[in-house]
Copies of this chain bind each other. A is one copy, B any other.
């Protein structure tokens, strides 16, 4: 340590002078680094967010009850109920950057059009019969599908069926709120369309493997709004089959994973949120892995045990859990498990803050 330039008269006298200085700091809207450096710049990440489990068996009845009591429409806009991480009290945030909610739409209900800087997706754990209109293009929502609404795209939901449906929404609301970078606009009160096509126009143009329409201008964000379960399922199955035949492809033994991408760039489907689907073969236990940045998982099928740091959860279909930054995660699936995962890794990667450590490395 460098030699201090002062000579302490007495400890008490010294302390008094320091207190005076610290008071002067406070009065001048100042704060010393040296008293709080460790908290501000820990050796490794020390997230406030906590590993947290939300069970589908709790979420779905509450969403149904909200369906009975709360109308959907202009102002509140959506009947969405957010996962609120207990480590981030007073916020409706699943992690510091990610919003995750269960959204519920009853028979014949409609959620009106709006658009915003915030990036959004829907993932459907069960059901069908609802359409999300994105810029007037009606996108069917069905079990296992991932549906996008990139930033500043008008979108609205409608349920022309007799049955309610619930799904999860993922957004970067916390991140955009944190940056104070959000702009929000209401759209028309009247639905853009009540069409109910099997495939949206964007899928028909962009949903073919590695084929790009020549006549369409280069899009600024992903032009594909729907990633269908049949393709995701086939891709995961193929990885495990290839592994069984002795070939590479899986993320690790027994663990297949695909990332949802923007077909115009090959990069993440959304600018701020990474979306992936994982499949664990029966008997698989994934290697404990730390990743800088936070994530939320939802079990899509099957069951298993999740280890996040010192915590352990039994998880089943529909259950969601939040993973704070740098917490080691491992999942065991004696009977196999499919899980959807989304994270803020595109933010960290774009700014070269990304980092990963595997227990076996």
Does A224 touch B at the CB level, under 8 Å? yes
Whether the pair B84, A29 counts as a contact (CB closer than 8 A) is yes
Q: Write the chain B residue with the least CB distance to A6.
A: B68
Whether the pair B79, A34 counts as a contact (CB closer than 8 A) is yes
Q: Which residues of B contact A58 (CB under 8 A)?
A: 28
Instruction: Knowing A29-B52, A213-B258, A248-B216, say if A352 contacts B182 (CB, 8 Å).
Output: no
Give chain A interface residues in 325-357, CB to chain B under 8 Å.
325-326, 344, 346-348, 350-353, 355
Give chain A interface residues in 244-273, CB to chain B under 8 Å.
247-252, 255-266, 269, 271-272
Give chain A interface residues in 39-77, CB to chain B under 8 Å.
40-47, 49, 52, 54, 58-59, 62, 65-77
Whether the pair A30, B62 counts as a contact (CB closer than 8 A) is yes
Whether the pair B324, A180 counts as a contact (CB closer than 8 A) is yes
Whether the pair A69, B6 counts as a contact (CB closer than 8 A) is yes
Whether the pair B182, A71 counts as a contact (CB closer than 8 A) is no
Does A81 touch B at the CB level, under 8 Å? yes
Does A198 touch B at the CB level, under 8 Å? no
How far is it, in angstroms, between the C-alpha of A206 and the C-alpha of B258 when the chains are bound? 10
Does A361 touch B at the CB level, under 8 Å? no
A: number of interface residues (CB 8 Å)? 150
How far is it, in angstroms, between the C-alpha of A4 and the C-alpha of B263 when the chains are bound? 39
Question: Contact string, A308-337, partner B, CB cutoff 8 A, digits 1/0?
Answer: 000000000000000011100000000000
Identical copies in the complex: 4
- Nearest CB of B to A231, in Å: 5
Whether the pair A264, B266 counts as a contact (CB closer than 8 A) is yes
Instruction: Knowing A33-B101, A112-B2, A211-B259, say if A41 contacts B173 (CB, 8 Å).
Output: yes
Whether the pair B76, A292 counts as a contact (CB closer than 8 A) is no
Whether the pair A215, B242 counts as a contact (CB closer than 8 A) is no
Whether the pair B184, A258 counts as a contact (CB closer than 8 A) is no
How far is it, in angstroms, between the C-alpha of A288 and the C-alpha of B357 when the chains are bound? 42
Whether the pair B117, A353 counts as a contact (CB closer than 8 A) is yes
Does A80 touch B at the CB level, under 8 Å? yes
Whether the pair B32, A82 counts as a contact (CB closer than 8 A) is yes
Interface residues in chain A, defined as those with a beta carbon under 8 Å from any beta carbon in chain B:
1-6, 14, 17-18, 21, 24-25, 28-37, 40-47, 49, 52, 54, 58-59, 62, 65-86, 91-92, 96-97, 101, 106-112, 116-118, 151, 173, 176-185, 189, 201, 204-216, 220-222, 224, 227, 231-232, 234-235, 238-239, 241-242, 247-252, 255-266, 269, 271-272, 276, 292-294, 324-326, 344, 346-348, 350-353, 355
Q: Which 9 A-B pairs have the closest CB atoms?
A: A34-B76, A1-B73, A4-B71, A180-B325, A31-B92, A215-B251, A214-B257, A204-B238, A45-B180
